[in-house]
Amino acid sequence: MEIYGVYNSMQNSLTNRKVDNIIYCDEFFVRLRIGGRKLDKKTIVSLRNIFFDYGNELILNGINLDIYDKEFITLLGPSGCGKTTTLRIIGGFIEPKSGDVYFDSQRINELPPHKRNVNTVFQKYALFPHLNVYDNIAFGLRLKKLSKAEIENKVKHMLAIVDLKGYEKRKINNLSGGQQQRVAIARALVCDPEIVLLDEPLGALDLKLRKDMQIELKKIQQKTKKTFVYVTHDQEEALTMSDRVVVMNNGSIAQIGTPADVYNEPANAFVADFIGEANILNGVMLDDCKVEILGKEIACVDKGFGKNTPVDVVIRPEDIEVVAPEDAVLVGTVEDTIFKGVHYEMSVKCNKCQWIIHSTVAQKVGSTIGMTVDPYNIHIMPKMFFAPDNFIDTTVLYNDIEANTTTISIEGNEITIPGVCFKEGSRLQITLPPSGLHIAGDGVGDLDEVYIESVIWKGEHNEIILESDERKWLMQSDQDEQVATYVPISFDFSKAKFDGILEEGETDEI
């Protein structure tokens, strides 16, 4: 995608600004080049610095988003990421705690749903079982007190668009799931809204019907030339139907782009992991176009990270070429091979790291293979947690010389550390590696109610980012934890390094 210019109707000037790979536009029009075509896109909805919380739980954390007229845009992310809350704010069902919602450049924060030119299709279609297909679709038009002739013309037109012509007198309970969904879409479209909001409408359908309806939904959107804002956690749905995808995580936007953008050029490890399959590895950027993976220097095309910078490295399974071991820097042993229809999926162990390879040619289990990757298919990105360890600055509350323990406070919780005894009142800097944290299996931890922000498999273990009341933590685990849940965590200080803080900016190892 290439930005040619942004027209700001208030300032009568061309402006644009780019932050964290997301282009936020304060514009009325934006000119895009997508796939070689130039398109004029009118911004129909703008969300500006949207915050929302339930009690003490932050749901949306400063969302900025422009939605263009006549586009199919999908909000994609795991459960609890804030995508449905964003949809409900657009629809007027809830108000943001702060920030502004604009519709055609007019602020509409306090405008109720029935006064917004927006209709919603829910996962449970909310059709009226006592009304037939015709009357369900006509319901909104009758509320608007249109004439009988107008209603009939509009309903028949909509029935043709959703391919239900001849179903006018059918009872709702006699329709299949896909047909009921089409009725719900027709009812939403017949009142001629500018925007249709769709909250996981395919979730109740079986796999084959869901795939069929993905194509049908896109056709309906193109026929009606309406703006569709779609919410899903299904990556295939998002990639199949969308003009643009908004990937959300932990109440924030991780990346906005075309389906090809978010798949081929993920902004961070979360996006790479959530969109399709990927080998995500810890690496070190040795220099421009040189990255170290598993102790091996590999050529890439990325620049500007600086020398010896820790990075995340993403390689898609289909981008790995199997060659003879003597022709490759990376060599591994095939541990498993599964036929997936269009390719074989192979699990390969390389330097204690598990790789996934997709190939049309199967390799025997137990065989040694070489692996090469075109430099253009190696994606380098900044780490989501920039420090390699967890650093804790604290003060010794008291000690027990006889028991050889030290008690400190972390976020108001008193924690006793065995095996060390430091002077009361002394200040400590504790360096705790990711392996020094674990989720308390008995439900009682040093810190309770810690939020799991992301879980990324790094070939050897899961790299987990957690958020407590005052900070974020980095943890390693062999267990696959659930994102967007709250867990108790405990610290293993036997793996920690302790430094006494002498004065600001200076430390002395104890």
Could you report the per-residue pLDDT of 318-375, keeping only the tens digit for each?
A: 999 999 999 999 999 999 999 999 899 999 999 889 999 999 999 999 999 999 999 9
Farthest CA pair distance, the chain: 92
Helix axes 177-189, 148-161, angle to 10 degrees: 130
Q: What pLDDT score does 373 carry?
A: 96
Tokens 């190696």, residue located: 378
Q: Is the pLDDT confidence value at 31 over 50?
A: no
Paired tokens of 355: 């790789």
Nearest in space to 435 (alpha carbons), one of 387, 474, 380, 405: 474
Q: Is 419 helix (H, G, I), strand (E, B) or coil?
A: coil
Q: What pLDDT score does 262 carry?
A: 94
Q: What pLDDT score does 55 carry?
A: 81
End-to-end CA distance of the chain: 54
| Residues 6+ away with beta carbon under 8 Å from 168 | 132, 133, 134, 155, 159
Alpha-carbon distance 165 to 81, whole Å?
39
Give residue 25's pLDDT band: very low, low, confident or very high (50, 70, 90).
very low
Nearest in space to 224 (alpha carbons), one of 278, 154, 286, 172: 154
Q: Is the pLDDT confidence value at 474 over 90?
A: yes
Give residue 483's pLDDT band: very low, low, confident or very high (50, 70, 90).
confident
Average the pLDDT over 495-501 and give the result. 90
Give residue 106's pLDDT band: very low, low, confident or very high (50, 70, 90).
very high
**β-bridge mates for residue 198, sequence order:** 121, 230
Average the pLDDT over 264-270 and give the result. 93
Which DSSP state fits 171?
A: B
* Burial (Cβ within 10 Å: 0-12, 13-18, ≥19) of residue 113: middle
Average the pLDDT over 248-265 and give the result. 94
Give residue 510's pLDDT band: very low, low, confident or very high (50, 70, 90).
low
Between β-strands 320-323 and 368-373, what pairing exists: parallel, antiparallel or unpaired?
antiparallel
Helices (H), 124-245: 133-143, 148-161, 177-189, 207-224, 235-241
Q: What pLDDT score does 315 carry?
A: 96
> Based on C-alpha coordinates, what's the Rg of the chain?
27
Q: What pLDDT score does 208 carry?
A: 76
| Mean of all residue pLDDT scores within the chain | 86
Over the stretch 228-239, which tens digit does the pLDDT of each residue have? 999 999 898 999
Q: What pLDDT score does 500 carry?
A: 86
Nearest in space to 203 (alpha carbons), one of 229, 228, 231, 179: 231
Average the pLDDT over 94-105 and give the result. 94
Residue 171 CB: number of other CB atoms within 10 A? 11
Q: Is the pLDDT confidence value at 265 over 80?
A: yes
Over the stretch 146-159, which tens digit does the pLDDT of each residue have? 888 988 898 988 88
Nearest in space to 281 (alpha carbons), one of 365, 356, 358: 356
Q: What pLDDT score does 502 carry?
A: 59
Alpha-carbon distance 388 to 238, whole Å?
33
Q: What pLDDT score does 23 carry?
A: 37
Main-chain dihedrals φ then ψ at residue 426, nearest 5 degrees: -75, 150
